[in-house]
Amino acid sequence: MSATAIHLAPVPTSPIEEIAPLVARLRETFDSGRTRSLEWRRQQLKGLIRFADENSDALVKALQADMGKPELEARAADIGQINVEAKLALKNLKKWTRPQSAGKVPFMGKSFVVRDPLGVVLIIAPWNYPVGLLLSPLVGAIAAGNAAVLKPSEVTAHTSAALAELLPQYLDTDAIALVEGGVPETSALLEQRFDHIMYTGNGSVAKVVMEAAAKYLTPVTLELGGKSPCIVDRTADIPVTARRIAWGKFMNAGQTCIAPDYILVDESIEDELIRELEKSVNEFYGGETLENTDYTRIVNARHHKRVSDLMAGEEIAFGGESRAEDCHIEPTVLRNVSPDSPIMASEIFGPVLPVLPVKGVDDAIDFVNRGEKPLALYLFSGDSGTEERVLGETSSGGACINGTIMHIGNSKMPFGGVGPSGMGAYHGKYSFETFSHRKAVLRRGFKFDIKMMYPPYTEKRTKMVKKMM
């Protein structure tokens, strides 16, 4: 099989001078009340579904031109998110938007919670899953009744251009707009006042986003990453464990925010696990990834060099081939890695997997807790007590037992980080909640007006209140 060639494209841009008027136009639309209508929300959600259905082939071609993504991964892990999220929102929109009773308090009346749209929101997406991570949050923003500005990544230029050309044909362009470009355009966007900002990417840029948001006290949702650990104890089924780790790690060439970043394995099974990992990789890719259409490329030369440099001086258990001209790094497993080495200092975000032996689950838990809280944590174990301990004694955005990646696929669960790995959550109803304000409302009648509430506060009334308390 011949690999899909990557074609570099110029960074697409939107005129910076048009950004402020664009945001103003969207705010005017929101202020008109148009986006509050449930019918408007349904129309936009149906438009997103039609967009995905009618343009999936074009989006696959764009993703292949940008990253050499296998068609199956492009459809299942990226484009497919749109229909899943939009159909769920359509099905539940009436229920989600219905006022929620908060019960009755004696003499106070009826209490309920109303979900209000926030206003005009900004969604900034990364390059690793440039379709799903842009439009999946948009589903929640639309369902909640907001206007939205979309900022796709300039790194995946073909995909950005395809989205800019095709998406406006399916959505209300007075309420939903897309801005292309790099740092200058993003900076110009961040100078505007938004009612919520959602950013998916790395922690360094997240700090810039938060700093800009602070100017207007704008709330933010941050979907970041970190070094997601994978713990393997001696009770695990090693062949199954190896297949599931290899799939989760090397899908999209490791360029996944919740990919296993490193393995902490019981030292008694380290050699067996590495052998099974190599066996799994060979089964997946036929022993060859350079010309294999089932294997993604590194997104660009800068990231290729970054990941290649992290491997320098490390002991390679298998893999290790790196070709800059093809933006290719084959699936690689490292062993005898020092916890203090550069590759253990930051998220790898590439197809390189360090394996670190530990004496047991106590050491693994201690190792995880010495680092920053990760976006995901993986445990492979046949022991329920170990499962309880790891879940109870560590903190992570999400976790998966005896599997990798797949917890993100259930839209009925929140997806988000904790601490440095993120702030807030989305997917399904959680996206709707993220882009909504929960307004507390109390409704009283006129018939019962208890005068003891009002001055003068006599001694008798004070005593009565004390008894009631």
pLDDT of res. 2 = 46
* ∠ Cα 455 456 458 (to 5°): 125
pLDDT of res. 11 = 77
CATH 3.40.309.10 occupies which residues in the chain?
229-413
d(CA 362, CA 22): 55
Indicate which residue of 73, 223, 278, 433 is catalytic: 223
With tokens 């507390």, the residue in question is: 440
- CATH number, domain 229-413: 3.40.309.10
Indicate which residue of 230, 257, 327, 400 is catalytic: 257
| Residue 257: active-site member | yes
- Answer whether CATH 3.40.50.1820 is correct for domain 16-224+419-442: no
d(CA 327, CA 79): 23
pLDDT of res. 1 = 40
Which among 468, 247, 252, 265 has a CA at the least distance from the CA of 357? 265
CATH 3.40.605.10 occupies which residues in the chain?
16-224+419-442
pLDDT of res. 6 = 62
Buried b (16+ CB within 10 A) or exposed e, 62-90: bbbbbbbbbbebbbebbbbbbbbbbbbbb
d(CA 127, CA 137): 15
pLDDT of res. 303 = 96
| Residue 223: active-site member | yes
pLDDT of res. 289 = 94
Mark the ranges of the chain whose per-residue pLDDT is less than 50: 1-2
pLDDT of res. 389 = 97
Which among 140, 355, 135 has a CA at the least distance from the CA of 242? 355
Q: What is the pTM for the complete model shown? A: 0.95
